[in-house]
Amino acid sequence: MIYDADMWIGHWPFRALPYHSATDLLRQMDAHGIEKGLVGSLHGLFYKDSHEANRELAKELGRRRDRLVPCAVLNPTYYGWEEDLKQCHEEFGMPVLRLVPDYHGYSLADHVAAEITEAAHGLKMRVALFGRIVDPRGRHPLDPGREADGAAIAAFLRKFPSASFLMLNFADSPERRRWDEPACHFDIVRFVGGGGRRLQTLIAEYGADRLLFGSALLMRYAKPTLMALEMCDLSRQERERILWRNLAALVAGMG
């Protein structure tokens, strides 16, 4: 069983992706033995009213909810996000809110970031933060995405000492050591270097309980992340925690 914390469908405006739809994603998941995944809409990063992308996502995933779990993408600077967030949770059954400040024109230091996070926690939703969406070295000049600032992330997390965040697409960095509190859960998609050694080191440092499998499908190839995990020396229990148990526990009863 593999439960993927980091998946997207939709189009990316700055590069032609080969696959876009829920059907495409399911084919990719089948090819890699991924049973289930948290899925967000890439359109939600770019629509003025990102909630329209949540509606589209909920409709597209439709009857595939057993495998594709929709995640909300909302802009806390946009009018009416409070009602939209409720609809995401109550009507669309979304267990996770993904925040993308670079793409929505605010920073994590802004009060709106804390407000929407508190609101999500109030609804018993998890909040996901991103180290980056794409590699900024090749970004389009109009792409506002950057590598997340470790100090800003750490300052934001300190406001929620008892919450668990999903930390997706983060890279190894000295700042990571500051994220010990609260109990953040990192996906492993960017820890595949060094012939599996980086991931092994991460597991030794954080423990298998803090890590999640994430592939960044349909943006990236999934095979390298799977291979890196295979190359690690892990017990069956540790492997299962990373592959699905940790994420299943994090979102249990939240959608």
Partner 1 sequence: MRIDCHNHCSGVRGRWPSVEDVVAGMGKLGIGRTCCSFPITRGDAGPDDVREANDDILGCMQRFPDAILGQCFVNPGYARHAQDEITRCVVDGGMSGVKLYHQYRIDEPVQFPIVERCIELGIPVLMHAGHPTTPDSMPGQPRLSSGEHFVQVAGRYPEAMLICAHIGGGGDWEWQLKALREAPNVFLDTSGSVIDQGMIERCVRDLGAERLLFGTDMNLVRGVGKLLDARVTERQREKVLGLNFSKLLRRRRI
Answer yes or no whether residue 242 interacts with partner 1 by CB under 8 A.
no
Using DSSP's 3-state secondary structure scheme, residue 244 falls into helix
What is the total count of residues that contact partner 1 (CB under 8 A)? 32
Answer yes or no whether residue 135 interacts with partner 1 by CB under 8 A.
yes
Smallest distance from partner 1 to CB 116, Å: 29
Among 58-66, 124-132, 222-230, 247-255, the segment contacting partner 1 (CB under 8 A): 222-230
Cα diameter, the chain? 49
| Selection from 3, 1, 48 nearest residue 213 by Cα | 3
Smallest distance from partner 1 to CB 169, Å: 12
Residue 171: DSSP 8-state: P
Using DSSP's 3-state secondary structure scheme, residue 101 falls into helix
Smallest distance from partner 1 to CB 255, Å: 27
Smallest distance from partner 1 to CB 124, Å: 33
Smallest distance from partner 1 to CB 229, Å: 10
Residue 209: DSSP 8-state: G
* Site for partner 1, residues 4 to 63, rule: CB under 8 A: 15-19
Smallest distance from partner 1 to CB 230, Å: 9
Q: What is the 3-state secondary structure (H, E, C) of 32-52?
A: HCCCEEEEEEHHHHCCCCCHH
Answer yes or no whether residue 193 interacts with partner 1 by CB under 8 A.
yes
8 phi and psi angles, rounded to 5 deg? -140, 150
* Site for partner 1, residues 71 to 130, rule: CB under 8 A: none
Answer yes or no whether residue 231 interacts with partner 1 by CB under 8 A.
yes
Give whichever of 18 and 253 is closer to partner 1, judged by the CB atom.
Answer: 18
Contacts 24+ apart (CB under 8 A), 45-53: 45/73, 45/100, 45/103, 45/104, 45/133, 46/13, 46/103, 48/78, 49/78, 50/74, 50/75, 50/78, 50/104, 51/78, 51/80, 51/81, 51/84, 51/87, 51/88, 53/10
Smallest distance from partner 1 to CB 192, Å: 5
Answer yes or no whether residue 194 interacts with partner 1 by CB under 8 A.
yes
Among 53-61, 160-168, 202-210, 225-233, the segment contacting partner 1 (CB under 8 A): 225-233
CA distance 181 to 165: 10
Answer yes or no whether residue 233 interacts with partner 1 by CB under 8 A.
no
Give whichever of 4 and 84 is closer to partner 1, judged by the CB atom.
Answer: 4
User: According to CB under 8 A, which one of 29, 42, 218, 234 is a site residue for partner 1?
Assistant: 218
| Selection from 25, 83, 15, 4 nearest residue 218 by Cα | 25
Q: Which two tokens stand for residue 117?
A: 């996070």
Answer yes or no whether residue 141 interacts with partner 1 by CB under 8 A.
yes
Q: Which two tokens stand for residue 188?
A: 């492993």
Binding site for partner 1 (CB under 8 A): 15-19, 134-141, 192-197, 217-228, 231
